[in-house]
Amino acid sequence: MEIEGKGAVIVGGASGMARASAEQLHAKGAKIAILDLPTSKGEEVAAALDGTFHPVDVTDYEGVEIVLAEAVEVLGGLQIAVNTAGGGAAARTLGREGPLPLEVFRRTIDLNLVATFNLNRLQAQHMAENEPEDEERGVIIDTASIAAFEGQIGQVAYTAAKAGIAGMMLTMARDLGSLGIRAVAIAPSLFSTGLTEGIPDEFAEVLTKDAAFPKRMGRPDEYGRLVVAIVETAMLNGGCIRLDAGQRFAPK
């Protein structure tokens, strides 16, 4: 898909990997709508990209439907969706204080997996209204994690959520293939964003010592470049691409 002139919704776009994706898509000529929390820097980021900011909490499922529709109306159509919102708390299946509280597990699944699917189904609905370009109407890009494949101790809820995102890509691509809509996930390793942004070099070296090359934290712009490549390469569909420098997480 050619990026020039396309409408792009970037969820979580006020910071980190999503912000880098928004910046690189904008540089290629996309129209940008940032969806993020009201407390984020979304308005500032959107203004710098000649875009619009639409505050929302992704776990407010009904609110997401309304806000997404508003964003698509401003864009004049939706062809590109990038979804990065998520997070989680560390807790073992069985810890010193007993079993992992079911509510903690549910919140993590809601924030990462259910919220992502809710966005996907609504984004696909808007994309289905597009006139096809070379038979393609849109591309949905979700964010998994290499924790989906080798989650560490204490990551059971987060692992389940991210594995769900990775696992639903092929089925979603098959569901949407007749409409000319692609679905791809990116599974990053440790990136310099969020909680890991600005950590000391010596600590970063410990965290990335098992990477093949380069032995460092990922950079948000590297995620953004992969987003651009996915959008521009129609044969990328139905999979989950590891962006991890060959790293495999140890148990802890």
Q: Which of 6, 82, 86, 158 is catalytic?
A: 158
Q: What share of the chain is helix, strand, coil (3-state, %, to 5)?
A: 45, 20, 35
Task: Say what the pLDDT of residue 126 is.
Answer: 98
* pLDDT average, residue stretch 206-229: 95
DSSP 155: B
Here the CATH number for the domain that contains residue 89 is 3.40.50.720
In this prediction the pTM is 0.96
Question: Does residue 252 lie in a domain region?
Answer: no
Compute how many other C-beta atoms are within 10 angstroms of the C-beta atom of residue 26: 18
Task: Say what the pLDDT of residue 205 is.
Answer: 82
The token pair that represents 183 in the structure block: 């679905």
Question: Does residue 250 lie in a domain region?
Answer: no
* pLDDT average, residue stretch 73-102: 96
Question: Does residue 1 lie in a domain region?
Answer: no
Question: Does residue 100 lie in a domain region?
Answer: yes
**Domain coverage including residue 139:** 7-243
Q: How far apart are CA 156 and CA 142, in angstroms?
A: 20
**Percentage of the chain modeled with pLDDT above 90:** 90
* pLDDT average, residue stretch 24-52: 98
Question: Does residue 124 lie in a domain region?
Answer: yes
Question: Does residue 45 lie in a domain region?
Answer: yes
Residue 183, CB-side half-sphere exposure with 13 Å CA sphere? 25
Beta strand 98-99 with 94-95 is antiparallel
Higher-confidence residue of 205 and 149: namely: 149
How many structural domains does the chain have?
A: 1
Q: Is 223 a catalytic residue?
A: no
Q: How far apart are CA 115 and CA 7, in angstroms?
A: 21
Question: Does residue 193 lie in a domain region?
Answer: yes
Bridge partners, residue 52, by sequence: 33
204 pLDDT above the threshold of 80: no
Question: Does residue 2 lie in a domain region?
Answer: no
The token pair that represents 129 in the structure block: 């209204």
Task: Say what the pLDDT of residue 229 is.
Answer: 98
Task: Say what the pLDDT of residue 194 is.
Answer: 66
* pLDDT average, residue stretch 97-102: 97
Alpha helical stretches, state H, 35-155: 42-48, 61-75, 102-109, 115-127, 147-150
Which amino acid belongs to residue 45? V
195 pLDDT above the threshold of 70: no
